[in-house]
A and B are shown apart, each in its own frame.
Chain A
Amino acid sequence: MSFSGLGYLIKEGFKNVWNNRIMSIASVCVLISCLVLTGSAVLFSMNVSQLVESVGDSNETTVYLDDGLSRIEAVYVGRDIQKLKNIEKAEYYSKDEAIAEYKDMLGEEVFENLKDDNPLPDAYKVSMDDLSKYDKTVEKILKIKGVDSVSNRSDIARRLTEINNLVQTLSFWIVLALGIISLFIISNTIRATMHNRRFEISIMKSVGATNAFVRIPFVVEGMVIGFIASVISTVALIFLYDGIMNIVSNLIPFTAMPIMSVIGYVAVTFIIAGIVIGALSGFISIRKYLKKEGNEILGW
């Protein structure tokens, strides 16, 4: 097969899109809605993750040590905590530092009655890598000898993580469902082209065109539809995201992730997804015709 021969079939694929433009526009629109919804779900998830991260950073968990633990024993406890898998860092926070902090916060006079007694325990301020594993990690920390209790100050982070997980799960199913819908709609568009071009297909087969060759224009048609939809989706997502984030940031104090920081990835992902879905649709739709012979192709 010559490259120029291939060029002719690719050109035919582009022509298909134009000749069948009403169905092509319908396919492009469906694919745009799928891609934009998918992109929105992913961007939402990224924003939640960013939020979780910032909340997680400022919301360290405090691990209180048993009363009367010597300094050396406290160091060993710290080492044991550090050894756990999900621990990002564990910083010693002595009861002297704690009371000094409280005095700064609440004023010396509140603590006058205590004189030199310090009822606060020594502690470690612990940050975790993955807050979704918060409970399991706390369980492990509590098993370490010398640990008295663990403060539970990461509720917000945990709630956000839960939301993020939910969004990710939902996104997955939305992407899957919309992907299948896109595949179905584009397949139907290409099937309409195929019906219009059944004479050509039957002639191609009768003169000895290979299946790969018969397939090319239809796969190209799907790819063109996918590409057009992905480019429009990228532009649409930029405007949609900026619009929504402007509204959200006016309602709650929140700095949204700037779309331009990820638009490159979004565009590339959209284009790849669009082209793959399009090509797959073409590939699937023509399969039925390739199995047919002669008059069967024409529906006779």
Chain B
Amino acid sequence: MDKIIEFKNVSKNYDSQTHALNDVSVSIDKGEFAFIVGASGAGKSTFLKLIMHEESPSQGTIIVNGTNVSNLKRRKVPYLRRNMGIVFQDFRLIEKMTVYDNVAFAMRAIGSNPSAVKKRVPYILSLVGLSHKAKSRPSELSGGEQQRVSLARALVNNPAIIIADEPTGNIDPEMSYEIIELLSKINEQGTTILVVTHEHDLVRRFNKRVIEIEKGRVVSDTKQNFSNDTSDINEGSDVINDALKPSIDEVITEIKGQAEEIGLASDKED
């Protein structure tokens, strides 16, 4: 399996006293779903920042989607980030924009054609089950809905990797399950998903890879098996919006095809 993210002996020191990451070697395959877990200050955020190239490593090599990003030139960074969709804990939605515009903004920001925006945004909103909220403002939505808008925005440019930083931190447990379920469905279509969380209960309910970081080191890297309690999952699935659930696979497939059609290749440069 091709690797999409590879850390080779990566360390990150903010100063001589603060070692955020210490000799981390880990790789994530294309199309994989992995949880990154760990306590606050363990180094999870630094791990994500290094992938997104918000920070450069002090030592070691980081390869993302075939590109060595350890010392990536500043002008190349935007093109690296077009491979990624970011979902934030605090949603980071723009209040003065409607749901539609919040999602469209991510396309407009990289210079997409208005006709492509018009075609793509409604489909992405239907994927996350928010077509009927397109004209609403973020403040009119629940936490779960806001996070789905954030997810739609991360998806709209058809990235190869979705990075979700504590996506369930600000929403209730039922909605949290729904968000991870949605990410799983997206993952089934081939998108690599990285979810940073400290909610062990949630992690346990999905049979996914779990990378645990503690004091800047990867202390365990396992595929969970104890979550095969299907009753748990089924119970959670009931939470998913009824309008959303039956059509989700079809919509995802359609979205992927459409993204290719309008030229939203994830590694595209303009």
Point out residues on A near B: beta carbons under 8 Å: 1-2, 4-6, 8-9, 199-200, 202-211, 213-214, 293-294
Q: A213-B111, A293-B55 are in contact. Are A200 and B81 (CB under 8 A)?
A: no
Known: A2-B113, A199-B92. 19 other contacts (CB 8 A): A6-B111, A9-B108, A199-B93, A203-B92, A203-B109, A204-B109, A205-B78, A206-B52, A207-B82, A207-B86, A207-B110, A208-B78, A208-B79, A208-B83, A208-B157, A209-B109, A210-B78, A293-B54, A294-B49
Residues of B57-96 at the interface with A, using a CB-CB cut-off of 8 Å, are 74-75, 78-86, 92-94
Nearest neighbor of A210 in chain B, beta-carbon distance: B78
How many contacts between A and B, using CB within 8 angstroms?
A: 75
- 12 A-B pairs with CB atoms under 8 Å apart are A2-B113, A4-B114, A5-B110, A5-B114, A206-B81, A207-B109, A207-B110, A208-B78, A208-B81, A208-B82, A209-B110, A293-B54
Q: Which residues of A contact B120 (CB under 8 A)?
A: none
Taking a contact as CB atoms under 8 Å apart, the answer to whether A208 and B80 are in contact is: yes
The secondary-structure label for the interface of chain A is: helix
By a CB distance below 8 angstroms, the chain A residues around B114 are 4-5, 8
Q: Which of B54, B75, B94, B157 contacts A200 (CB 8 A)?
A: B94
Interface, chain B (partner A; CB < 8 A): 49, 52, 54-55, 74-75, 78-86, 92-94, 105-106, 108-114, 153, 157, 270
B81 pairs with A4, CB closer than 8 A: no
Q: Are B108 and A5 within 8 A (Cβ)?
A: yes
Q: Which residues of A contact B86 (CB under 8 A)?
A: 206-207
* Contact B157–A207 (Cβ < 8 Å): yes
Residue ID in chain B nearest A291 by CB atoms: B74
Which residue in chain B gives the minimum CB-CB distance to A296?
A: B54
Which B residues are CB-close (under 8 A) to A207? 81-82, 85-86, 106, 109-110, 153, 157
State the CA gap A2–B268 with chains docked (Å).
14
Which residues of the partner chain B approach A210 to less than 8 Å between Cβ atoms? 75, 78, 110
The answer to whether residues A213 and B92 also contact, given A293-B54, A294-B49, A294-B52 and a CB cut-off of 8 A, is no
